[in-house]
Chain A
Amino acid sequence: MQQYIPIVVFTLVAILFPIIALLLAKVIRAGSPDPVKAEPYECGVKAPTTAFDTRFSIRFYLIAVLFVVFDVETIFLFPWAVMFEKLAVFGFIEMVVFLAILVVGYVYAWKRGALEWA
């Protein structure tokens, strides 16, 4: 575990960096607060509503679900790829079967229009 110690130190230093920079900026930056400046950006008119309750396309949600499925799949492939030379032909055939099952799911998602964006 010793080689992880520098990473921990690096993490602490990296977290310090934005904190110090923000504090420094806070001390020396200009500031003349004004209620107009605090309005959300909009071209010439008052922003009609708050953005937190804006509704957005369901497709973003669908993409997120597909991502979870396929990203879990890549995680399964990592250990397989590292041990590939030892697993040899047997491991290769196993992974072809695994991927074939996933491709069936992929084709299904495609046919049902989950990948369309229109």
Chain B
Amino acid sequence: MDQPLYQFIVIPLVKIVVILGVLSLIVAYLTFFERKVLAYIQVRLGPNRVGPRGWLQPVADALKLLVKEDLVPGGAQKFVFMLAPALIIVPAFLVFAVIPFGPATRLFGLLPEAIPPYLTDVNIALLFVLGISSIGVYGIILGGWASNNKFSLMGALRSGAQMISYEVPMGFAIISVLLMAGSLSLVKIVEAQQSSHLWFIFPGLLGFGIYFICGVAETNRNPFDLPEAESELVAGFHTEYSGMKFAFFFLAEYTNMLVVSSLATVLFLGGWLRPFPNVAWLGFLGIVPPFVWFALKVAGFIFVYLWFRGTFPRYRFDQLMHVGWKWLLPLSLANVLLVGLIVLLVKG
């Protein structure tokens, strides 16, 4: 077989299929997991009718969404109305092109040579992630506007304002990681945490807190789920959506949760590294494969997301703006200078 074709088309295609397949499966079961966790928080059982202990619930949901009637409001902008869900789901998936799930592996000797389990590593990976994930806000604004419904429009505007407000402190929090890592490549950032003997959460605790709060706000989740605020806006920007198009908004929300959790893992919790990567007497932790460490950390973040939803009341919109612009922004700016100072003193 032609070598470049094999290297650039066949291997990536296999990886893409695996990534997309696993991703869809995880997202589908994430919805199930969320309902179960919320149920147990509220001392209920949660979905338990479809299949053993409710395990087939996501399959039933998917089938239902697929065969549901697809309503388009009479006064809607038809093309934009259809484009919006695609605009939000494609960027959410695209981010996973550069997320490093683990180091190059031979899959316990099954492969002739070591192959990295992530799709590709580019030297601007972090900029790529930030840029691509910002496209999602277009999907929300266009979807809300094209619906020709005042609830949708208000939800879309709120969502847009919220997402751009929290993007600024998030950017600053990420810059504090760059100061420590000195690279935009996500693989190099993980390797930098190996060579500096500690996860970046320890010098970057403040940055980590800001990043995760902004991440929750960016994904429109509790306690920042104002765009959908059921009590006042019905369902926010996707009020008029039904069937498969609604499913895209739904999928995108959960995929974005995975994106924020994966990025938090890579930037602050050492990606695929075990705890205290260079402490010799903890070497027995190396029995657990790197990929599993990555998955465990992401799962931890996802659980915190659900925990938030189960326990926090919703913010008011003025409070949301107050927190974003008057607290997180100055704090994240100060954090950049603080981390810069620490890096200067340590590496000086």
Residues of A within 8 A of B (CB): 2-7, 9-11, 13-15, 17-19, 21-22, 24-26, 28-32, 35, 37-42, 47, 50-52, 54, 56, 60, 63-64, 66-67, 70-71, 74, 77-78, 81-85, 88-89, 92, 95-96, 99, 103, 106, 110, 115, 117-118
Please tell me if the beta carbons of B175 and A77 are within 8 angstroms of each other in the complex. yes
Please tell me if the beta carbons of B343 and A67 are within 8 angstroms of each other in the complex. no
A10 to B8, CA, bound (A): 12
Main secondary structure of the interface of B (DSSP, over half): helix
Main secondary structure of the interface of A (DSSP, over half): helix
Q: A60-B157, A67-B167 are in contact. Are A82 and B13 (CB under 8 A)?
A: no
Please tell me if the beta carbons of A40 and B168 are within 8 angstroms of each other in the complex. no
Name A110's contact: one of B16, B121, B326 (CB within 8 Å).
B326
Q: A10-B12, A29-B243, A95-B340 are in contact. Are A17 and B90 (CB under 8 A)?
A: yes
Please tell me if the beta carbons of B12 and A3 are within 8 angstroms of each other in the complex. no
Please tell me if the beta carbons of B321 and A7 are within 8 angstroms of each other in the complex. no
Interfacial chain A residues near B152, Cβ < 8 Å:
51
Residues of B within 8 A of A (CB): 8-9, 12-13, 15-17, 20, 66-75, 82, 85-86, 89-90, 93-94, 97-98, 119-122, 127-128, 145, 147-154, 157, 160-161, 164-165, 167-168, 171-172, 175, 178-179, 182-184, 234, 239-240, 243-245, 247-248, 317-318, 321-322, 325-326, 329-330, 333, 336-337, 340-341, 343-344, 347-348
A75 to B339, CA, bound (A): 18
